């Protein structure tokens, strides 16, 4: 009865005629999942058939698919997520608020979604189109993004380092997220001048030397990143990845702790090897997401 009453309103709101109120498995899954989120999963046929292909089993006939989907999702949850992936659970807990109910099913749904849509070009393009619609408002509400872009365009000019003093480098404390969000890291890296390694006995000249090498050096970027981290005290992996991303915004993106957690959740393999330096991981990450 309720569906029949709602139908005219839906037709009016959508501008579509001749709609019906047939309740399919997907619709029922939404009702059940919203009412009993600890027991049910939101179902979509493309998820179901895609997951069947992924684990090499045949889909069942219509009318039985949702129940089969639930059993597959429960198997994934109980035998993999809960038993074998404490790190994933910890990441999920750090990102999502306490919802007041067991949201493990939500993790499983997200895993299936990312596994089946990751690498889907049409989906990625769809996200980009959606962002394009709000991009102007987003950048207007977050002016620091454009401000930092212009700051680093000026900061990285080679001639700037010819007469640079310590306050010139201390400006980075307000421009690097790793320092903005961590006052101790900022104080260590940019409080009193540190003794950066270099060819000079003058610490400022050594800072200039290392920044020039990072920006203009001839060695591969991973080598320059690792050398900078080794030579300049208290500039962490995260802060240096931000520097490189800001110096070369058309080539590289940041690779910080959130990004490292993100690729684990999304199942993106950057093909890092044991013993890889941060510089190598940074390059592999950027290659994996482009």
Domain co-membership, 6 together with 102: yes
Domain co-membership, 281 together with 166: yes
Domain co-membership, 113 together with 168: no
Let me know if residue 263 belongs to a domain.
yes
Task: Domain count for the chain, please give it.
Answer: 2
Domain co-membership, 52 together with 168: no
* pLDDT (average), residues 171-183: 94
Of the three residues 59, 86, 117, the one that is the final residue of a domain is 117
* pLDDT (average), residues 263-287: 87
Let me know if residue 93 belongs to a domain.
yes
Let me know if residue 151 belongs to a domain.
no
Residue 265 pLDDT greater than 80, yes or no: no
Q: Give the CA-trace dihedral at 112, 118, 123, 124, to 10 degrees.
A: 140
At 191 the pLDDT is 95
Of the three residues 117, 142, 177, the one that is the final residue of a domain is 117
Of the three residues 88, 117, 146, the one that is the final residue of a domain is 117
Q: Give which of 186, 199, 33 is closest to 109, Cα–Cα.
A: 33
Domain containing 174: what range?
Answer: 156-288
* pLDDT (average), residues 53-70: 87
At 45 the pLDDT is 85
Question: pLDDT category, 46, cuts 50, 70, 90?
Answer: confident
* CA–CA separation, 55 and 136 (whole Å): 42
At 123 the pLDDT is 65
Most confident option among 14-18, 67-71, 213-217: 213-217
How far is CA 153 from each of CA 33, 57, 112, 158, 208, rounded to the nearest angstrom? 49, 54, 41, 11, 16
Q: pLDDT tens, 75-104?
A: 988 887 887 677 777 777 777 667 777 788
Let me know if residue 184 belongs to a domain.
yes
Let me know if residue 150 belongs to a domain.
no
- Here the tokens at position 138 are 């987003």
Residue 21 pLDDT greater than 70, yes or no: no
Let me know if residue 221 belongs to a domain.
yes
Lowest mean pLDDT segment, chosen from 41-45, 50-54, 183-187: 50-54
Let me know if residue 129 belongs to a domain.
no
Residue 166 pLDDT greater than 90, yes or no: yes
- Here the tokens at position 29 are 């899954």
Residue 137 burial (C-beta neighbours within 10 Å; 0-12, 13-18, 19+):
exposed
Q: pLDDT tens, 199-252?
A: 999 999 999 999 999 999 999 999 999 999 999 999 999 999 999 999 999 999
Residue 160 burial (C-beta neighbours within 10 Å; 0-12, 13-18, 19+):
middle
What pTM, to 2 d.p., does this model score?
Answer: 0.61
Let me know if residue 132 belongs to a domain.
no
At 119 the pLDDT is 52
Share of the chain above pLDDT 90, in %: 48
* pLDDT (average), residues 124-153: 89
First to last CA, the chain: 51
Domain co-membership, 172 together with 267: yes
* pLDDT (average), residues 153-179: 96
Domain co-membership, 280 together with 160: yes
Question: pLDDT category, 63, cuts 50, 70, 90?
Answer: confident
Domain co-membership, 183 together with 238: yes
Domain co-membership, 95 together with 194: no
HEC-encoded secondary structure of the chain: CHHHHHHHHHHHHHCCCCCCCCCCHHHHHHHHHHHCCCCCCCCCHHHHHHHHHHCCCCCCCCCCHHHHHHHHHHHHHHHHHHHHCHHHHHHHHHHCCCCCCCCHHHHHHHHHHHHHHCCCHHHHHHHHHHHHHHHHHHHHHCCHHHHHHHHHHHHCCHHHHHCCCHHHHHHHHHCCHHHHCCHHHHHHHHCCCCCCCCCCCCHHHHHHHHHHHHHHCCCCHHHHHHHHHHHCCCCCHHHHHHHHHHHCCCCCCCCCHHHHHHHHHHCCCCCCCCCCCHHHHHHHHHHHCC
At 42 the pLDDT is 87
- Here the tokens at position 18 are 């001749």
């Amino acid at each position: 009865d309720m569906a029949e009453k709602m139908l005219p309103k839906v037709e009016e709101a959508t501008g579509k005629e001749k709609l019906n109120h047939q309740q399919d498995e997907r619709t029922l899954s939404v009702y059940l999942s919203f009412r009993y989120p600890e027991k049910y999963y939101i179902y979509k046929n493309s998820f179901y058939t895609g997951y069947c292909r992924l684990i090499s089993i045949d889909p069942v006939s219509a009318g039985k698919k949702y129940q089969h989907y639930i059993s597959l999702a429960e198997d994934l949850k109980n035998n993999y997520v809960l038993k074998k992936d404490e790190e994933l659970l910890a990441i999920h807990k750090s990102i999502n608020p306490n919802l007041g109910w067991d949201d493990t099913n939500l993790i499983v749904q997200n895993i299936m979604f990312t596994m089946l849509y990751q690498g889907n070009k049409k989906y990625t393009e769809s996200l980009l189109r959606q962002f394009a619609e709000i991009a102007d408002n987003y950048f207007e509400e977050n002016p620091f993004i454009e401000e930092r872009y212009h700051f680093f365009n000026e900061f990285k000019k080679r001639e700037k380092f010819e007469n640079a003093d310590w306050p010139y480098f201390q400006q980075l404390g307000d421009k690097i997220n790793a320092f903005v969000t961590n006052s101790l890291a900022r104080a260590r890296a940019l409080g009193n001048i540190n003794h950066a390694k270099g060819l000079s006995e003058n610490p400022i000249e050594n800072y200039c030397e290392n920044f020039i090498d990072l920006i203009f050096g001839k060695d591969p970027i991973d080598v320059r990143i690792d050398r900078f981290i080794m030579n300049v005290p208290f500039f962490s992996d995260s802060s240096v990845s931000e520097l490189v991303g800001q110096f070369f915004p058309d080539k590289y993106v940041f690779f910080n702790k959130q990004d490292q957690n993100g690729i684990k959740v999304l199942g993106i393999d950057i093909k890092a090897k044991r013993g890889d330096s941060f510089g190598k991981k940074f390059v592999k990450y950027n290659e994996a997401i482009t």
